[in-house]
Structure 1
Amino acid sequence: MADHKIFAGPRVRRVRNGLGLTQTAMAEALGISPSYLNLIERNQRPLTVQLLLKLASVYKVDLEELQGDARGGSAALREVFADPLLSGEIPGDQELIELAEAAPNAASGVVKLYRAYREQAKRLSDLAQLLAREGHETALAGARLPIDEVRDVLERRSLHFPLIEVAAEAFHAALDPADGLEAALKSWLRAKHGIVVRALPVHVMPHLGRRYDRHSMRLFLSERLSVFDQVREMAMEACLLAMGEEIRAELEGLALTSNEAKRIARFELARYAAHALIMPYGAYLAAAQRARYDIDVLRARFRVSYEQAATRLISLQRPGAAGIGFFLMEIDHAGNIIRRAGAYGFPRASFGGQCPKLNIHAAFAEPGRVLVEPVATPEGASFLTIARSLEGPQAGYQQRLRRTALLIGCDLREAGETVYGEAPAPVIEIGPACRICERQACLSRAEPPMTRPLGLDEMTAGLSAFDFQ
């Protein structure tokens, strides 16, 4: 304690105010001058060991309370000021610590107000979904990050970009990858742009999957990436060079509002272009129809990953030559939604995608297994859902593997065109999301519906803590 200076001025002032004492009265009891106590309360002098003991004996103050820091309060404030609405207002943690230290009650009030704001924003989002299901579009807007703007735009429109598709088919034909696309891409990058592709070990490039060095004209790929992902990274770089105009034209069509959002969308379009190059539209659609949309057959045929093969199915919407209208959603272990997209936009109003009964959540318990279930919503819409876990980049020893789960779905009326619709299975009753779902006695309900009061009754107990009237 002797080596650690304790600046606890606001806490000393709260003790004094709580006791209704003046600085003169407290200073006299502690055996110091009022001016010295004033300096202590303004954090211009630290508390000495003798003063700490004196405070504890005279005013029965808990020493732990005086020595405690404000980092707990500052952590909650950090959550508040990380919001896009307030980002950049406070440059570092020190000011948050000072706020939590000097005015803990005010800091607690700010946190409570922010959490109430977040709850109201969530309720408004739920209300918007509820209204959308009834055919009423809303324009509820709030502070959003650029990534949120991009996701919202891509979720609402068809995931098909015709200019990129045409350019990708022409590029694939020009490459003529008779010996495999990987070799053809490496030869094209070297011959056309002098770029050499090299795979680097983890210790050389520990935090990146791909890096293009413009000075040495080398494209570095991490060995953490699977063979399929390495090919996609090469294809992305090649598409940005060969199909720049088409990507720019499609990017302008998204009408994004910020440069950061445009940068993020350009990356997404480059990934889309890479898939279109690896799995050319005409060849992939024909193969998908022959295989009855069996994703495992398609991944083997085109030498791609399950995720790449499934994602490509969503984009087969060329006028006059369209496939099934699939949609997809990817989540992590905690249920955070990583991406959503669809042939006609993600069906939020009819499908929702946030029901805990969906097989996408069960996919984590059975890694690598394809789970197929037909589902039905309260409004009568029915879908075929196909879910499987995905593994991220190769993890090293004592590193946790990144695992996500992918769900693709389509209208149940189209299930007969797929291999997944052959075996009959019981239909699972789902809802769009717990807060806007009114299914009674749901064992999986995680939240009460915002449209009904809770059915609290001392004489009876329902199957869920959130049973409602």
Structure 2
Amino acid sequence: MAENKIFAGARVRRIRNGLSLTQTAMAEALGISPSYLNLIERNQRPLTVQLLLKLASVYKVDLDELQGEASGSVTQLREIFADPLLSGELPGDQELIEVAEAAPNAAMGILKLYRAYREQSSRLKDLSALLSDQGHMAALSDARLPMDEVRDIFENRPHYFARIDEAAEAFHTQLAPGDDLAGALKTWLRKEHGLTVRALPVHVMPDLRRRFDRHSMRLFLSERLSAQDQLREIAMEAAQIALPEAIAADLEQLAFSTGEARRIGRFELARYAAHAIMMPYGAFLAAAQRAKYDIDVVSARFQVSFEQAANRLVTLQRPGASGLAFFLMEIDQAGHRLRKSGAQGFPRARFGGHCPKLNIHAAFSQTGQVLVDRVEVFGGGEFLVVARTVEGPRAGFQERIRRTAILVGCDAAHATETVYGEAPLMTVAGGTACRLCERRGCLARAEPPVTRPLGLDEMVTGLSAFDFQ
């Protein structure tokens, strides 16, 4: 069997430098010429079996050290260079391997610097939120993806778009759908634009929710989608055809900085328009007020899902005809933020939404059940919060269900105006986020506050691993 060639010049040079030897001295001890050792160190000659044994015998070198690769460092370096700041710098892994092999100490220095950078970036964001809470503005320079820009803009403004809502309400009146909005939309698309809608089985369209074929003028929907989600996809297509001026006008007001962010923003506004068609503003507001904002009741009234009705509640802010100022947050089981919006902007400074005590996290252990709490936020502020899990597209055999949780909240002062505030509620002592919360003795604390030094007292142990002074 042909033996594998071992090129380990950087490691041989590292051994020689560690022993403070010249190339001549090491070559003499190994029984080779200095020029040949120089070629080995430059990876122009491989190490032979005889040389490996000689190195192990003369310098007590572990053969694994010479034959192994710095795979761990390469993996960590690869993660670093996947950061948006550096993602376009390296065409492949070869340079990373060369860095890890030739300069392992430098590679370790890069790893430490990157960890410090991420930690400082996180702390700066926390401090920025704290300053914002105190009425100060703090501008942070950070590499943001287009989706981050879109999220920031939608989270920090009222989630109400007047032009789209008015145009959608007029379009719904024109349709006169009765109790079959899906049928009315399909009829309108076919008669007015020659566009037909067809649901396809999973094996035909395994990776897509929807696909519009311009050549055949057909809108294909996945059978994975529930009837309510299929309706939203149809309504989104109709909105982009029937309400282009309204969507474009509201999109222009958002002033996105890149074309990609603008494209994502347009998709979000089309989704907003679909909800406005499915749940016309005036009718939905009247129904929500009659039901005291019972999300299950209004979702049944308009034949939509809990998630769709919850998203619509946040938009009820028409001047002169507004509902309660709700806000909404959606997360997955890993705690990733998927969506935040608010009738007056998501209350990030006052509510935060990152406290592990919130019932949105407990909802995953009680799927499908509506959980209601009153939350007292450290530093002031009380909120009524309603949480429930919702399920995404249907999963096939041996696939995990896509399940997320939604939290809908409002100021606790309006709790009695809702059906959820009629019964006695459990009060949760929470905070905006662990790093900004100074509540002592919190069993759920996951991080130390940035505003206090850790209480490193060997004689006293508190309820949390992150006790502070």
Both proteins in one fold, TM over 0.5: yes
Aligned pair in 2 of structure 1 residues 388, 52: CA closer, same or farther (>3 Å)?
A: farther
Matched, 1:444 2:418: no
Note the alpha carbon deviations across 1:370-423, whole angstroms, 9 max, x for none.
110001112221000111112222222222222221111000011111111111
1:47 counterpart residue number: 47
- Say if 1:30 and 1:55, in contact at 8 Å, map to a contact too: yes
* Alpha-carbon distance, 1:3 to partner: 4.8
Amino acid of the structure 2 residue aligned with 1:274: A
Q: Counterpart in 2 of 1:396? A: 396
- Secondary structure of the structure 1 residue equivalent to 2:212: strand
SS at match of 2:135: coil
Q: Deviations over 1:131-170 (max 9, x none)?
A: 1111112222322111111111111100000000011111
d(CA) in 2 for partners of 1:216, 1:33:
75
Q: Secondary structure at the match of 2:426?
A: coil
Give me the whole-angstrom Cα distance separating, in 2, the residues matched to 1:4 and 1:205.
46
The residue that corresponds to 1:418 in the other structure is 418
Q: From the superposition, tell whether residues 247 and 12 of structure 1 become closer, same or farther in structure 2 (CA, over 3 Å).
A: same
Write the distance in 2 (CA, Å) between the matches of 1:259 and 1:347: 28
- Where structure 2 has 5 or more consecutive residues not aligned to the other structure, the ranges are none
TM-score by length of 2: 0.96
Q: Partner letter of residue 285 of structure 2? A: L
Structure 1's 27 and 400: CA in aligned 2 closer, same or farther, altered over 3 A? Answer: farther
TM-score by length of 1: 0.96
Which residue in 2 is equivalent to 1:132? 132
1:464 matched residue in structure 2: 464
Greater shift in the superposed pair: 225-234 or 271-280? 225-234
Whether the aligned pair in 2 keeps the contact of 1:2 and 1:49 (CA below 8 Å) is no
Cα distance between partner residues in 2 of 1:237 and 1:3: 62
Take 1:32 and 1:181, find their aligned partners in 2: how far apart are those partners?
86
When residues 212 and 32 of structure 1 are mapped into structure 2, their CA distance, relative to the original with a 3 A threshold, is farther
Q: Distance in 1 between matches of 2:17 and 2:107?
A: 19
What one-letter code is carried by the residue in structure 2 that aligns with 1:206?
Answer: P
CA shift, 1:43, in A, is 2.7
Does the C-alpha gap of structure 1 residues 262 and 56 become closer, same or farther in structure 2, counting only changes over 3 Å? same
* AA partner of residue 141 (structure 2): A
Contact kept? 1:383, 1:409, Cα under 8 Å: yes
Letter of the 1:29 counterpart: A
* In structure 2, C-alpha distance between the alignment counterparts of 1:6 and 1:210, rounded to whole Å: 52
SS at match of 2:101: helix
Q: How does 1:56-455 map to 2 (within 5 A)?
A: 56-178=56-178, 180-455=180-455
User: C-alpha deviations, 1:287-320, integer Å up to 9, x for none?
Assistant: 1111111111122111111111111100111111
Determine helix, strand or coil for the equivalent of 1:172: helix
Q: Distance in 1 between matches of 2:317 and 2:196?
A: 35
Counterpart-to-counterpart distance in 2, 1:119 and 1:461? 26
Superposition deviation, residue 179 in structure 1: 5.3
Change (3 A) 1:2 1:66: farther
- The 1-side partners of 2:249 and 2:158 are apart by 16
For 1:204 and 1:6, locate their aligned partners in 2 and report how far apart those are by CA, in whole Å: 49
**Alpha-carbon distance in 1 for matches of 2:7, 2:298:** 66
Contact 1:360/1:406 (8 A) holds in 2: yes
Matched length: 469
> What is the rounded CA distance, in whole Å, between the counterparts of 1:394 and 1:93 in structure 2?
38
- Structure 1 distance, partners of 2:145, 2:53, is 50
Residues 67, 305 of structure 1: alpha-carbon distance in 2 compared, 3 angstrom cutoff: farther
**In 2, Cα distance between equivalents of 1:216 and 1:47:** 64
The 1:201/1:64 distance shift into structure 2, 3 A limit, reads farther
Q: Distance in 2 between matches of 1:30 and 1:155?
A: 68
> Over residues 20-60 of structure 1, what are the superposed CA-to-partner deviations in whole Å (9 max), with x where a residue is unaligned?
22233333433444333333322333334443333333322
State the AA in 1 paired with 2:70: A
CA RMSD of aligned residues (A): 1.7
User: 1:216/1:3 Cα in 2 relative to 1: closer, same or farther (>3 Å)?
Assistant: farther
Amino acid paired to 2:110: V
Q: Quickly say closer, same or farther: Cα 1:31–1:329, change in 2 above 3 A.
A: same
Cα distance in 2 between the residues matched to 1:52 and 1:182: 75
Structure 1 regions of 5+ residues with no counterpart?
Answer: none
The aligned runs of 1:18-33 (5 Å cut-off) are 18-33=18-33
Change (3 A) 1:106 1:301: same
Q: Whole-Å Cα distance in 2 between the matches of residues 228 and 35 of structure 1?
A: 76
Alpha-carbon distance between aligned partners in 2 of 1:24 and 1:187, rounded to the nearest angstrom: 88
Whichever residue aligns with residue 316 of structure 1, its letter is L
| Distance in 2 (alpha carbons) for counterparts of 1:102 and 1:244 | 58
Taking a change above 3 Å as real, the CA distance of residues 29 and 203 of structure 1, as seen in their structure-2 partners, is farther
CA distance in 2 between counterparts of 1:64 and 1:206 reads: 46
Q: 1:395 to 1:12 in 2, by over 3 A?
A: farther
Q: Could you say if the C-alpha distance between residues 320 and 396 of structure 1 is closer, same or farther in structure 2, counting changes exceeding 3 Å?
A: same
Q: Structure 1 residue runs of 4+, over 6 Å off?
A: none
Distance 1:464 1:118 in 2: 24
